[in-house]
Amino acid sequence: MKKILILTTALSTVAFAASADVTVMSWGGAYGEAQNEAFVKPFVAATGKATIMVDSDNPAPAIKAMVEAGNVTVDVASVEYADAIRLCDEGVLEPIDAASLPAGADGTPAADDFIPGAVTECGVSTDIWSNVFAYDTTKFPEGPKVAADFFDLEKFPGKRGLRKGAKAVLELALMGDGVAAAEVYNVLSTPEGVDRAFAKLDTIKKDVVWWEAGSQAPQLLADGEVSMTTAYNGRIFAAAMNEGKPFQIVWDGQIYENEMFVVPKGAPNAADAMEFVKFATSTEGLRASAQQISYGPARKSSLATEIVFKDGKTVMAPHLPTAPENMGNALETSATFWVDHDAELNERFQAWLSQ
C-alpha cells in the first residue's frame, strides 16, 4: 500500500503533489486531522492510491490563485458553501455530476439522501459546521447564555476573540443587538442594517483579538488571551474532548452552513479526485467524519443509527449544530447573500478595522 503523507503547509503542495494520485487541501488543525482519519486513510486503504493532505488557512483563495495562474497542484479542496458557489460561477471549479454520487447505504438515491442544498453544481457537502462562541467555564461558571452576552463587557469582562472578516461577524453583531436569526439577512441587506452591525462591533472593538486560522480561536481561549471567542464548533469540541479544556459552547446565535468538497478546474488528477469525493461523501464516509469531530453529516442515511465519538462512549447528537436543542436561535448562512455582498462588506470591514 502506498504511504499517506500529511503536510502542514500549502506551500509544500508543489513539492509532493507530483508523487500523489490525489492531493487534498483542507483547513488543518482538528478539522484536518478528522478528515484525514475519516476520508484520507480509508480511501488509501480501499484504493491503494497515494493521497496527501495539505493545509491552508482558507483553501478558496489558494485554489483560485492556482487556476488563474495555470498551475493547479491540488485535486480536491474543502471550501465554505458561498465560496463553492462563487468559484463555480467564476469557472474556477469542475462541475460534479450529482447522478454519479453513490446511493445511501440503505439504497436511497443520493439526490434524496442528501439534505436540501448539500449538493451544488460544483460541490458536495462534507459536513454541517457552525460558527459559535465559547468561553472558559473556570472564568464564567454561570454563563454567558445568549448572543447578547458576547458584547456585554460589564457583565462578562475580558477580551473577545473574533474571526478577522465580515462573514459571520456581522450576523453575530446583529443577533447580539437583538435581531432574531430569521430576520438577520433582511436587516443586513439594508444600509441601515450594515451600519447597525458595525455600531454593535464598535462597542467591543478595543477589546477584540482577531484570529484568522481556525486553530487560533481555541488556543486564544486556552492561553487566557481572551475570555470568550467565536470559533468553529468542532474546534471547541475537540479541545474539550481531546485535551480536557474547560470550554463551553453557547449555541444561541450559532451560524451554520455546509462545508463542501470541490475539484479545481485543471486538477492534475481530476478522475481520481472525483472518486475521492464520492468515497468521502458516501454514507460511511460522512458517518466516519462525525465520529471524529462534532460536525453533522449531510446525508440522512448517515444518521440512521446513533453516532458515537471515537472515544467509544460519547454520543455525538447533542454536540452537533443541527441537534434540535441547539437550533433555538440558529441562523443558516445565506450563500446567496455572501456571493452578492462579500466584496463590498469585506471592503467596508477592512476600512472599519483601520479606523
CATH number at residue 295: 3.40.190.10
Are 82 and 51 in the same domain? yes
Are 155 and 213 in the same domain? yes
Are 54 and 194 in the same domain? no
**Window from 6-20, 94-108, 261-275, 310-324 with minimum mean pLDDT:** 6-20
Instruction: Give counts: helices (H), strands (E), the chain.
Output: 14, 10
Phi-psi region of 104 (alpha: psi -120 to 50; beta: other; left: phi over 0): beta
Q: Using pLDDT thresholds of 50, 70 and 90, give the confidence band for residue 19.
A: low
**What is the reported pTM?**
0.86
Q: Which three cell numbers stand for residue 246?
A: 474547560
Are 240 and 274 in the same domain? no
Are 20 and 96 in the same domain? yes
Give the residue among 28, 26, 27, 7 at the shortest CA–CA distance from 16: 7
The answer for residues whose C-beta is within 8 angstroms of residue 108's C-beta and 6 or more apart is 300, 301
pLDDT of residue 9: 37
Q: Using pLDDT thresholds of 50, 70 and 90, give the confidence band for residue 313.
A: very high
Are 224 and 112 in the same domain? no
Kindly tell me if the per-residue pLDDT of 323 is higher than 80.
yes
pLDDT of residue 16: 44
Are 24 and 171 in the same domain? no
pLDDT of residue 304: 87
Note the pLDDT tens digit of each residue in 63-109.
Answer: 999 999 999 999 999 999 999 999 999 999 999 999 999 999 999 99
Residue 15 structural domain: 5-128+258-322
Are 14 and 157 in the same domain? no
Are 46 and 110 in the same domain? yes
How many structural domains is the chain composed of? 2
Note the pLDDT tens digit of each residue in 192-213.
Answer: 999 999 999 999 999 999 999 9
Are 80 and 178 in the same domain? no
Are 29 and 118 in the same domain? yes
Please give the share of the chain, as a percent, with pLDDT higher than 90: 91
Q: Which three cell numbers stand for residue 245?
A: 479544556
Q: What is the mean pLDDT of the chain?
A: 93
Q: For residues 287-298, give the mean pLDDT.
A: 95
Note the pLDDT tens digit of each residue in 143-187.
Answer: 999 999 999 999 999 999 999 999 999 999 999 999 999 999 999
Are 140 and 99 in the same domain? no
Q: For residues 316-326, give the mean pLDDT.
A: 92
- Can the peptide bond before residue 144 be classed as cis, meaning omega within 30 degrees of 0? yes
Q: Which residue has the higher pLDDT, 303 or 43?
A: 43
Q: For residues 47-63, give the mean pLDDT.
A: 95
